Copies of this chain bind each other. A is one copy, B any other.
Amino acid sequence: MGVSILGAGSIGLLFAAYLREIGIKVTLYTRTTQQADLLNKDGFIFRNGEKKKHFSICAAQLTLNTEINDPFVIVSVKQHQLKEIMPVIKKNCHNRCFLFIQNGMGHLPFLEKLTHCSIVLGIVEHGAMKLSGNEVNHTGYGKVKIAPFDEGIDEEKLVFIESWSQHQFPIEFQQDWYKMLANKLVVNALINPLTAIYRIKNGTLVKNGCFTKLMRQLYEETVSVLMIQNEGLWDHVVSICEKTAKNESSMLCDIKLKRRTEIDAISGYILSLAKEQKKTLPYTEFVFTSIKALEVENSEAEQPYEKL
């Protein structure tokens, strides 16, 4: 069975590499024709520590007329790009199985509009860096966790996704998608904006008690609106800061590279829940407005998908 991947950023390319590694045919849909041409002509390079591998791949630009052939589709665009590519997904949804791996939970309302297809949600704990249009580096090892979004999803589909699991790319099945996404959202809502505002590495959040205090306040606000069991969750966040102490968060990278961040999908989503619940979350509002301000300072508009 072939797999189509929508979005050829670092995580899209990482999936492509590990799927090609076990011989799965992959079609990679890109934003620009240039990137598709480059991938078709030169293939792509996968770096993993000191190892370097070269894979051939079939690539195409994603357009409104795209017809997806594969029964499995990984949607690896950023959440704020989802709205743009949704018409293509809708047109191609019949009988397909989609794996959505966006950060945050802002994409959930979109998914409810998809019918006659199977939906699986995933979270990606890997670090990957796109070095160019056809080169990616696997910089941090974690898991891909997946959970069915639909009740009564065909067991066979989950088995196929789990078959992608490899030593350095483990795939773990979870029962409860809400808990899975919410836990990841808490991690993102704490680590990402704070590291981006102060331009610090993840570990500094737990080494410097004043930063930990700010993080704890964000934590209290976040779990209050997500209404999740929080036993162990704070310790989980702290352990992630410790394990990735020397890493820069994706939001810090986005700010440094003057790219649009995922703040809307993360803190923005939490604020929208708070509004529904008539709660005010001043710390979350503070970091949300701060990141928006830094985006305005960077003020480099991201290129939209060309032909959509």
Tell whether, in the assembled complex, residue B198 and residue A289 are in contact, meaning their CB atoms are under 8 Å apart.
no
Tell me, in angstroms, the Cα distance from A217 to B208 when the chains sit together.
26
Tell whether, in the assembled complex, residue A214 and residue B290 are in contact, meaning their CB atoms are under 8 Å apart.
yes
In chain A, positions 7-48 with a C-beta closer than 8 Å to chain B are none
Q: Does A141 contact B (CB under 8 A)?
A: no
Task: For the complex formed, measure the closest distance between the CB of A87 and the CB atoms of chain B, giving whole angstroms.
Answer: 31
Q: Which residues from chain B contact A197 at a C-beta distance below 8 Å?
A: 197-198, 290
Q: Which residue in B198, B200, B204, B286 is a CB contact (below 8 Å) of A283?
A: B286
Nearest residue, chain B, Cβ from A281: B282
Q: Which residue in B198, B213, B289 is a CB contact (below 8 Å) of A210?
A: B289
Tell me, in angstroms, the Cα distance from A290 to B79 when the chains sit together.
29
Q: Does A292 contact B (CB under 8 A)?
A: yes
Question: Chain A interface: which size bin?
Answer: 20 to 34
Q: Which residue in B200, B282, B293 is a CB contact (below 8 Å) of A211?
A: B293
Tell whether, in the assembled complex, residue B296 and residue A210 are in contact, meaning their CB atoms are under 8 Å apart.
yes
A-B contact pairs, 10 of them (CB 8 A): A197-B197, A197-B198, A198-B293, A198-B294, A208-B296, A209-B296, A210-B289, A210-B296, A214-B293, A282-B282
Tell me, in angstroms, the Cα distance from A204 to B293 when the chains sit together.
10
Q: Does A297 contact B (CB under 8 A)?
A: yes
Between A200, A210, A296, the greatest number of chain B beta carbons within 10 A of the residue's beta carbon is seen for A210
Q: Which residues from chain B contact A210 at a C-beta distance below 8 Å?
A: 289-290, 292-293, 296
Tell me, in angstroms, the Cα distance from A213 to B289 when the chains sit together.
8
Q: Which residue in B208, B282, B283, B294 is a CB contact (below 8 Å) of A297?
A: B208
